[in-house]
Amino acid sequence: MANSSFVTEFLLLGFSSLGDLQHVLFVVFLSLYMIILSGNFTIISVIFLDHSLHTPMYFFLCVLSVSETLYTIVILPKMLINLFSILRTLSFMSCATQMFFFLGFAVTNCLLLGVMGYDRYAAICQPLHYPILMRWRMCGQLAGACIITGFLISLVGTTLVFILPFCGSNKVDHYFCDISPVIRLACAETYTNELIIFICGVLVLVLPFIFICISYGFIVRTILRIPSAEGKRKAFSTCASHLTVVIVHYGCASSVYLRPSAKYTSGKDRLVTVTYTIITPLLNPMVYSLRNKDVQIAIRKIIGKTGFSPKIL
């Protein structure tokens, strides 16, 4: 240690091993990024402008879209720059900052999906008590709790990584400062730090997912008791979009964060990480706009193509 120099910056290897294919990736990722930004901006604008969408379900969707947008801004612009750049370095503090905000928004998204599951449970299983259970003050408190908890957990995770000494290689085998590829560069014992991070991962991913599964267990039981086929279809349609995003988001995130970093594999992790840093934020506005009749009608109203009022389920 005495003869080692401490790392002051990190080199993001990203997709450098792909050579000229990086230019193709740049075009693909830039196109997807533009769709993500425009899609989420559309969702946020439509919910804000159309008063018929001023309901708890769309309020949480709006918060999720804002979080998803900021989440991608933390990662994708730097990744796009690096695809055309020879110098792909990040200072020590910039790397820590990127990890903090990435984890903060990622955890916030997980918790918001759990709250959205509870909202669907309250709407379908407790319709008479729904206005009380999901009053606006409660919605604001739930959204605020998700954000605060998300960044507190992020602070713990980021601190556990960057209190370690980095005095060897500075080559991060990833396209952003994620936990596993960075902590592997530490020149100290990381078992305790990884264990605490793993426990946080279980709390963030497993508990909300179990809560969502239990909520949907009650939802399915309630829907099956609806006598009309049309009523069942409408009830299921309000949950399909949320379930699609939950399965993709939790599935990909769990495969990366619910295992020791010793089993980190750069190629596989980059592929899976692309899914939840690009595909999931892209999936949100697509499933909530293309599959949601309320949002579709609201968009048509705003652009002046129709005067029909949407029917909130």
91 forms beta bridges with: 9
The tokens 């259970």 sit on which residue? 133
Beta strands 89-91; 9-12: pairing state = antiparallel
Counting residues of the chain whose pLDDT is more than 90, the rounded percentage is: 26
Helix axes 92-125, 56-83, angle to 10 degrees: 150
Given CATH 2.60.90.10, say whether it is the number of domain 9-302. no
Confidence of residue 261 (pLDDT cuts 50, 70, 90): low
Say whether pLDDT at 5 is over 60.
no
**Of 218 and 236, the one with more pLDDT:** 218
Confidence of residue 4 (pLDDT cuts 50, 70, 90): very low
pLDDT value of position 156: 95
Say whether pLDDT at 102 is over 80.
yes
Say whether pLDDT at 169 is over 90.
no
Whether residue 287 contacts residue 245, with contact meaning beta carbons closer than 8 Å, is answered with yes
247: number of Cβ within 10 Å = 12
Mean of the per-residue pLDDT values for the chain?
Answer: 83
In whole angstroms, give the CA distance from residue 305 to residue 93: 49
Confidence of residue 293 (pLDDT cuts 50, 70, 90): confident
**Of 39 and 242, the one with more pLDDT:** 39
**pTM score of the predicted model:** 0.86
Which residues lie below 8 Å from residue 146, measured CB to CB, with a gap of 6+? 63, 108, 111, 112, 115
Confidence of residue 313 (pLDDT cuts 50, 70, 90): very low
In whole angstroms, give the CA distance from residue 119 to residue 133: 9
In whole angstroms, give the CA distance from residue 111 to residue 204: 7
**Of 235 and 124, the one with more pLDDT:** 124
11 forms beta bridges with: 89, 171
pLDDT value of position 8: 83
pLDDT per residue over 35-79, tens digit each?
999 888 888 888 888 888 888 988 998 999 999 999 999 999 998
**Of 183 and 271, the one with more pLDDT:** 183
Phi, psi of 171, deg, nearest 5: -90, 110
pLDDT value of position 89: 86
Any idea where the domains of the chain sit in the sequence? 9-302
